[in-house]
Structure 1
Amino acid sequence: MTVRRSVILGTGSALPTRRVSNAELAQEVDTTDEWIVERTGIRFRHLAGPHETTGTLAIDAAKAALAAAGVHAQDIDLIVLATATPDQTFPSTATKVQAALAIDDCVAFDVAAVCSGFLYAVQVADAMIRAGAHTRALVIGAETFSRILDWEDRTTCVLFGDGAGAIVLAAEEGSDRGILASKLHADGRHNELLYVDGGPSTTGTVGKLRMKGREVFRHAVVNLASVMTESLEIAGLTAADVDWVVPHQANARILDATARKLGLPAEKVVMTVDQHANTSAASVPLALDVAVRDGRIKRGDVVVLEAMGGGFTWGAAVVRY
Structure 2
Amino acid sequence: MTAIEAVSTYLPPHRVPIASLAGDLGLTDMQVRMFHRYYGLAEVLYEPSGTITDLMLNAAAKLSELRGREQQVRYVVQARTLQAIAPYPQEPLHDVVAALGLRHARAFAVTQHACASGLLAVEMCGRLLAEDGDPDALALVFAGEKAFTPSARMIPGTALMGEGCAAVLVGAGSRDRLLSYASATHGEFNAGLSLTAEMSLEFQQRYPDALAEVILAAAARAGITTADLDLVLPHNVNRVSWVRVARKAGIPVERLFLDNMPVTGHCFCADSFLNYVSARDVGRLKPGDRYLMAAVGLGSTFSAMVFEH
TM-score (norm 1): 0.82
* Partner SS, residue 172 of structure 2: strand
The two structures, once aligned, show a CA RMSD in angstroms of 2.9
Q: Deviations over 1:49-72 (max 9, x none)?
A: 1x32222212222232x2267664
Q: Deviations over 1:279-312 (max 9, x none)?
A: 1212221222221222212332111111111111
The aligned residue for residue 288 of structure 1 is: 276
How far apart, in 2, do the equivalents of 1:23 and 1:177 lie? 38
How far apart, in 2, do the equivalents of 1:146 and 1:6 lie? 33
How far apart, in 1, do the equivalents of 2:102 and 2:119 lie? 24
Amino acid at match of 2:105: C
- Is 1:114 equivalent to 2:114 in the alignment? yes
Cα deviation, residue 235, structure 1? 1.3
CA shift in 2, pair 1:266/1:181, >3 Å? same
Cα deviation, residue 136, structure 1? 1.1
The aligned residue for residue 15 of structure 1 is: 11
How far apart, in 2, do the equivalents of 1:308 and 1:216 lie? 12
- Runs of 5+ unmatched residues, structure 2: none
How far apart, in 2, do the equivalents of 1:184 and 1:143 lie? 22
Cα deviation, residue 156, structure 1? 5.6
Asked if the contact 2:44–2:161 (Cα under 8 Å) also holds between the matched residues in 1, the reply is yes
CA shift in 2, pair 1:144/1:211, >3 Å? farther
CA shift in 2, pair 1:258/1:107, >3 Å? same
CA shift in 2, pair 1:71/1:254, >3 Å? farther
User: Matched residues, percent identical?
Assistant: 26
* Partner SS, residue 304 of structure 2: strand
Asked if the contact 2:152–2:161 (Cα under 8 Å) also holds between the matched residues in 1, the reply is no
- Is 1:276 equivalent to 2:277 in the alignment? no
CA shift in 2, pair 1:214/1:52, >3 Å? farther
CA shift in 2, pair 1:35/1:148, >3 Å? same
The aligned residue for residue 212 of structure 2 is: 225
Amino acid at match of 2:188: R
Q: Deviations over 1:115-153 (max 9, x none)?
A: 1111111111111122235621112211112424278x8
- Runs of 5+ unmatched residues, structure 1: 197-209
Asked if the contact 1:40–1:159 (Cα under 8 Å) also holds between the matched residues in 2, the reply is no
- Is 1:144 equivalent to 2:131 in the alignment? no
* Partner SS, residue 2 of structure 2: strand
How far apart, in 2, do the equivalents of 1:41 and 1:212 lie? 26
TM-score (norm 2): 0.85
- Is 1:76 equivalent to 2:73 in the alignment? yes
Asked if the contact 1:161–1:278 (Cα under 8 Å) also holds between the matched residues in 2, the reply is yes
Asked if the contact 1:9–1:69 (Cα under 8 Å) also holds between the matched residues in 2, the reply is no
How far apart, in 2, do the equivalents of 1:70 and 1:277 lie? 30
The aligned residue for residue 257 of structure 1 is: 244
Cα deviation, residue 213, structure 1? 6.1
Q: After TM superposition, list the pairs within 5 Å mapping 1:186-197 onto structure 2.
A: 186-194=185-193
Count of matched residue pairs: 299
Cα deviation, residue 256, structure 1? 0.9
How far apart, in 2, do the equivalents of 1:311 and 1:283 lie? 18
CA shift in 2, pair 1:119/1:238, >3 Å? same
